[in-house]
Amino acid sequence: MVAFKSVSTPELATLSQIRLTALSRLAPEVADFLEGGAGDEITLAANRSAFSRWGFRQRVMSGRATPDISTSLLGIDLAMPVLTSPFGADGLFHPDGQKAVARANLSAGIAGIVPEAGTHALEAVAEAAPKAARIAQLHPMGPEANFRHMLRRIEQAGYEAICLTVDCPTGGWRERVLRNAFDLDAGFVNGNYPDSGETKLIEVFGQLFERCATVWSWQRLSELMAETDLPWIAKGIMTADDARAAEAAGAGAIYVSNHGGRQLDGVPAALDALIEVKAEIGQRLPILFDSGVRRGADVVKALALGADVVVIGRLAAYGLVAGGQAGVERVHSLLYDEIRTVLTLLGRGGVDELGPDSLLPLPALVSVV
């Protein structure tokens, strides 16, 4: 059993309270940056409402012991089917940023994806918690020489897999950011590029990623990734077509995500896309999922609909703001306990017993804050 070192206080009592505490401590423009989505935020809202369209098909008197929720991904053992996402600008939320997240992951027995556009260099995060900082993020964009250089750094730092964020050839149209004229200091995002006058990724974080002359192709990506033996994950997949293309390009895992509603507004909820992708991929590759997850029951629903691992971004950021490493540890502890509680009440002995038959479509949408 995992021995969490989480601390329960009124501010950290529940996941919803951790969120409220975090938002109350952030400047309004930073809270908008964290909470906001693209365009009219239709997809942002859809991500949450999608979970309310599914209920649980409960089975009782199962005779089962306490559920085992441990799993693994690409050879990485996880105490629960959860990773932390590569959210950048992490120093906005706490000075230790992803280093604190990595240490919290270590105490929870899980791992995290370390961002390219982070406050701290990928080597520094790995040094903070080498057994938890296992996957590094890269954006397939910009000069190939820079991409190759980052591949070598990731290998030398001891990472075991690479998460390629394929849905960000440019930044989403984020109107909360525009309204606030929010201009993020480059120091929050250039931890991996400390010697550059501006970051590779961000020109003006008030809105846009650096414009690339050409959006990369699957073929170009496949050729470059053939230069490393590390397995890679394709993040930002929302259709069966792209899942097939990523698999053909050599991806070792598919990551269903609409970037938490922050990229292209008007795309479906990621939970709906998960069903389509699972139908295509089946058991051939592991599937990761994010977007709209706010509690352990959401994790269970995503697992039942086809995810092997669920990735948390905003939840981890809330914990970071509310309590630093201890706040993220508390997020993990609450998720761990709720996932096991839901599985127990479902009559399931482990996450491997979850499937579509664990859920029922609800007849009407439930209002979700």
> What residues form the annotated binding site?
86-88, 137, 165, 174, 235, 257, 259, 262, 290-294, 313-314
Rg (CA), the chain: 19
- Where does residue 309 rank: exposed (0-12), middle (13-18), buried (19+ CB within 10 A)? buried
Strands (E), the chain: 54-56, 71-73, 76-78, 82-84, 111-114, 133-138, 161-165, 202-204, 208-209, 232-237, 253-256, 287-289, 309-312, 359-361
Per residue, the 3-state secondary structure of 28-73, as one string, reads HHHHHHHHCCCCCCHHHHHHHHHHHCEEECCCCCCCCCCCECCEEE
Decide if 120 is catalytic.
no
- Cα torsion 214, 219, 221, 226: sign: negative
Say how many Å lie between the first and final Cα of the chain, rounded: 33
Which amino acid would we find at residue 70? S
H or E stretch including 122?
helix 122-128
Using alpha carbons, list the distances in angstroms from residue 326 to 58, 116, 217: 34, 24, 41
Partners of 112 in beta bridges: 84, 133
| Residue tagged active-site, from 94, 120, 139, 259 | 259
Residues identified as active-site: 259
